[in-house]
């Protein structure tokens, strides 16, 4: 998922000027420039070394870019002409870059590839890289949301740890039972922070209610926001929910200060170390029994810039990266985005649950205007949870903002 804000107008300028990266002087030996949010020990760096060992005629120069900076850095690079061949892009922003003509359509090369079969990809990750009939990236992995719960606290409160809440009503009832003000324990931890993380956490609730990013103010959507409002008002979740990131909110669960938490698989290594209790994971509760389950789609995609001087070699690197899909869970903590066999997965029960959640995970958007849309959703959540507006008023205002943005 992303915490990125709106890109600079430089994206449009770059397309208008037709600027490109500098040509390579040495035609015999190729250098691929790659931008990534990874640190040197993570994903792209070691895999690039493996690729180089298999392709001695290609050097892969990998550059770390801060997660919050990568979109604007790519915008500026498009203006100066110093674009990389390959970059990471968070999945809600594929449409923005693709609609500006800054990404290479990979569909023709995928059609000829013997290593990438889109028919095996799960719907959410595949939707994230599509814009119209074009394919603008290859997902490097995925994450999603689920409900962590403290089985020990369930037992102590007289709840069955083998029956986690399956509906919103059950979640409310369990959170109420598990909340213990005397011990400073809240029933539930989640993040409603005014950032992309808040949108990431809230959007599945709207979608489970039948709405979506562009359909926010139906009665069921209002009920979803009122449900969050009720959790805060009745102190079943901390008031700090409005300012805590996902990382910080889950830390309260790990410390035993919340009995349940909404978060993703990236938390498992830290939880295994910090949580001194029996923790388990379940699907997000649905609005009512039998209604649709939805979760959020996180992580990002590997893309080739349209002005890359070496698209053939860049695609070979993307094919190689995709071939590592069976190992991304154990090696990097990503869920595989396609149907592959993962041998001896770490945290096997949790892996199976998150993989199940991924089947109904939806991309945020897709829309070239995602940054503005996300801002409208964040603002609505904050306004309702602080009672600056009713849930209905907040979502009506958000709907107006989204309509104005999409129709501009």
Q: Which pLDDT score is estimated for 333?
A: 95
Assess whether 23 and 114 both reside in one domain: yes
Q: Which pLDDT score is estimated for 7?
A: 44
Domain count, the chain: 2
Assess whether 159 and 183 both reside in one domain: yes
Assess whether 194 and 308 both reside in one domain: no
Assess whether 139 and 170 both reside in one domain: no
Q: Which pLDDT score is estimated for 17?
A: 36
**Domain assignment of residue 393, yes or no:** yes
**Domain ends where: 329, 354, 379?**
354
Assess whether 284 and 157 both reside in one domain: yes
Assess whether 106 and 56 both reside in one domain: yes
139 sits in which H/E element: strand 138-139
Assess whether 271 and 315 both reside in one domain: no
Assess whether 121 and 268 both reside in one domain: no
Strands (DSSP E) contained in 37-121 are 58-64, 86-90
Domain at 186, CATH number? 3.40.190.10
112 close to 104: Cβ distance less than 8 angstroms: no
Q: Which pLDDT score is estimated for 26?
A: 46
Q: What is the pTM of this model?
A: 0.91
**Domain assignment of residue 359, yes or no:** no
Assess whether 227 and 315 both reside in one domain: no
Strands (DSSP E) contained in 244-368 are 260-263, 279-282, 295-296, 300-304, 361-362
Q: What is the DSSP letter of 297?
A: -
- Give the separation between CA 308 and CA 314, rounded to whole angstroms: 8
Positions of the chain with pLDDT under 70: 1-27
Assess whether 51 and 177 both reside in one domain: no
Rounded to 5 degrees, φ, ψ at 185 are -110, 125
Residues with Cβ < 8 Å from 183, sequence gap 6 or more?
none
**Domain assignment of residue 364, yes or no:** no
- Give the separation between CA 87 and CA 36, rounded to whole angstroms: 6
Residue-wise pLDDT for 270-315, tens only, equals 999 999 999 999 999 999 999 999 999 999 999 999 999 999 999 9
Assess whether 278 and 156 both reside in one domain: yes
Give the closest residue to 136 by CA, choosing from 310, 313, 301, 325: 301
- Give the separation between CA 339 and CA 361, rounded to whole angstroms: 15
| Domain limits for position 303 | 10-143+299-354
Residues with Cβ < 8 Å from 177, sequence gap 6 or more?
157, 158, 159, 187
Assess whether 247 and 206 both reside in one domain: yes
């Amino acid at each position: 998922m992303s915490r990125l804000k709106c890109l600079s107008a430089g994206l449009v300028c770059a397309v208008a000027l037709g600027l490109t990266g500098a040509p390579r002087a040495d035609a015999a030996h190729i250098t691929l420039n790659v931008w990534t949010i990874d640190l040197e020990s993570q994903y792209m760096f070691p895999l690039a070394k493996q690729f180089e060992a298999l392709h001695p005629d290609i050097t892969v120069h990998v550059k770390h870019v801060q997660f919050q900076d990568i979109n604007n850095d790519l915008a500026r690079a498009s203006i100066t002409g110093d674009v990389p061949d390959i970059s990471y892009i968070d999945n809600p922003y594929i449409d923005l870059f693709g609609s500006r003509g800054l990404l290479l359509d990979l569909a023709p090369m995928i059609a000829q590839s013997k290593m990438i079969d889109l028919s095996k990809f799960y719907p959410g990750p595949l939707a994230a890289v599509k814009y119209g009939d074009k394919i603008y990236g290859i997902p490097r992995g995925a994450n999603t949301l689920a409900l962590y719960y403290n089985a020990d606290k369930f037992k102590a409160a007289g709840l069955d740890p083998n029956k986690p809440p399956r509906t919103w009503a059950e979640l409310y009832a369990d959170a109420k039972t598990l909340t213990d003000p005397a011990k400073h324990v809240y029933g539930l931890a989640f993040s409603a922070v005014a950032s992309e993380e808040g949108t990431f956490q809230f959007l599945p609730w709207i979608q489970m209610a039948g709405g979506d990013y562009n359909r926010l103010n139906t009665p069921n959507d209002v009920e979803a926001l009122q449900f969050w409002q009720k959790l805060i008002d009745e102190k079943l979740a901390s008031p700090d929910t409005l300012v805590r990131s996902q990382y910080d909110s889950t830390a309260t669960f790990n410390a035993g200060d919340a009995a349940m938490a909404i978060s993703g698989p990236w938390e498992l290594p830290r939880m295994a170390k910090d949580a001194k209790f029996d923790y388990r994971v379940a699907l997000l509760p649905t609005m009512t029994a039998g209604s649709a389950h939805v979760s959020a789609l996180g992580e990002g995609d590997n893309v080739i810039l349209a002005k890359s001087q070496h698209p053939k070699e860049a695609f070979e690197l993307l094919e190689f990266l995709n071939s590592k899909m069976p190992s991304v869970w154990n090696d990097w903590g990503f869920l595989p985005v396609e149907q592959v066999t993962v041998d001896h997965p770490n945290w096997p029960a949790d892996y199976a649950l998150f993989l199940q959640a991924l089947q109904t995970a939806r991309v945020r958007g897709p829309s070239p205007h995602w940054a503005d849309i996300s801002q409208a959703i964040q603002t609505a959540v904050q306004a309702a949870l602080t009672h600056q507006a009713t849930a209905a008023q907040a979502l009506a205002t958000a709907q107006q903002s989204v309509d104005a943005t999409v129709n501009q």
